[in-house]
Amino acid sequence: MGYQEYLVARELVSTFGQPILAYATLISAILLLLSLYYLVKREERIIEYSIKLLQVNTILIALGFIVLMWFHFKIYSTIEVIYPEYVTAYMYQTSGIQLTSSRFAIPLWIETEKLYFWALCLSLFAWQISRKYRESAKGIIVSLNIILSLLIVITYLYSNPFTEPLPIVHSEITNWSQAIAAQNPQIVGQIAMQLFGRITYYYNSMYMWTHPPMLFIAYASLAVTFAACVFMLFKKDEVFDKIAYSHAKIGYLLLTVGMLIGYPWAVLAWDGEWWWDSKINGSIMMWVLYSAYLHTRIHLHRKSMWEVTAILGIVCFISLVFTYLLTYVVPGIHSMAQV
């Protein structure tokens, strides 16, 4: 197997990816300051500058994503888990599975890459808004720039995918490589069994390739709804509702289908009672709140319903962030947190 080749690829990801994200973070910091300045001074030329910076930033983030895609492809092409004969015989006897070998088809939204993917999606939505509503919704463009800048700075500081690319995958690949080098059949067998489970039911799983990206694209779209709902609170302008609703539609569709796709996966992976797990609670809460938002919006022009809908749109996004953070804060079956 090409472990050395993999290591070189991992090194290259850091070499090329780090400066890309560093520049994107620097631009984000400038964008943040410019956006705050605009909110105070309302100078038109600031909008022009910030849109240009947003475009440069989106291109940088997309470039970084291409680097990550290349790295994932290199993992797939260089690392092959070839199962020892007694493991294949055991798997065939116990579950009828005919094992030969496996490759890692790692999704692009795991470990430290989650926030990066979310930032990429939000950049694209922000760019689209800045093109479509350049004249009619400058406040929303600026607000999205603020949210995006904060997201990129947080990604750089706490979830940088280029400082130590895919640490868990890396430790699994390294363990496998060391076991092969040690030529201890028992250890090789043990690790092969573990990797078979991880590769088949997690990395290469159809659910992993569909459930999380749908949710991250939904989160990015719903961030736009949030920004527009904040403006709805201050001004009864139809364009704010138009932006909020058009992005709530994309977000709700992906949220609904994405969450539903996660269901059979949960049934398969977590046999037994998992329904009222904290993360599941958070996800249901988020979905019912967005359903409530879409219902109240039907009567938007009735007395007080404009404000109620706007407040619900804001509460929905708070619930979204809360649900995302639950993975890291509250322990549970769908969680990375430890007490």
Return residues touching other proteins (CB under 8 A).
Answer: 249, 252-253, 256-257, 260-261, 263-264, 267, 273, 275-278, 281-282, 284-285, 288-289, 291-292, 295-296, 298-299, 302, 312, 319, 326, 330-332, 339
The least distance separating other proteins from the CB of residue 318, rounded to whole angstroms, comes to: 11
Measured from the CB atom, the residue of 72 and 334 that comes closer to other proteins is 334
* Residue indicated by tokens 């689209």: 128
> What is the C-alpha to C-alpha distance for residues 327 and 279, in angstroms, rounded to an integer?
6
The least distance separating other proteins from the CB of residue 284, rounded to whole angstroms, comes to: 5
As to burial, measured by CB atoms within 10 angstroms (0-12 exposed, 13-18 middle, 19+ buried), residue 185 is middle
H helix runs in the chain, sequence order:
3-41, 44-78, 85-95, 114-132, 138-158, 167-182, 185-198, 206-234, 238-269, 278-297, 305-329
- Kindly state the greatest CA–CA separation across the chain: 75
Q: Cα 35–144–162 angle (5° rounding)?
A: 95
> What is the C-alpha to C-alpha distance for residues 6 and 103, in angstroms, rounded to an integer?
13
The least distance separating other proteins from the CB of residue 264, rounded to whole angstroms, comes to: 5
Give residue 83's Cα distance to chain centre.
32
Measured from the CB atom, the residue of 25 and 283 that comes closer to other proteins is 283
The least distance separating other proteins from the CB of residue 256, rounded to whole angstroms, comes to: 6
The least distance separating other proteins from the CB of residue 82, rounded to whole angstroms, comes to: 33
> What is the C-alpha to C-alpha distance for residues 184 and 193, in angstroms, rounded to an integer?
14
> What is the C-alpha to C-alpha distance for residues 163 and 236, in angstroms, rounded to an integer?
45
Picking from 199, 201, 198, 180, the residue whose alpha carbon sits closest to that of residue 189 is 180
Measured from the CB atom, the residue of 7 and 253 that comes closer to other proteins is 253
Measured from the CB atom, the residue of 62 and 329 that comes closer to other proteins is 329
Measured from the CB atom, the residue of 52 and 295 that comes closer to other proteins is 295
Measured from the CB atom, the residue of 69 and 267 that comes closer to other proteins is 267
The least distance separating other proteins from the CB of residue 81, rounded to whole angstroms, comes to: 29
Measured from the CB atom, the residue of 103 and 242 that comes closer to other proteins is 242
The least distance separating other proteins from the CB of residue 302, rounded to whole angstroms, comes to: 6
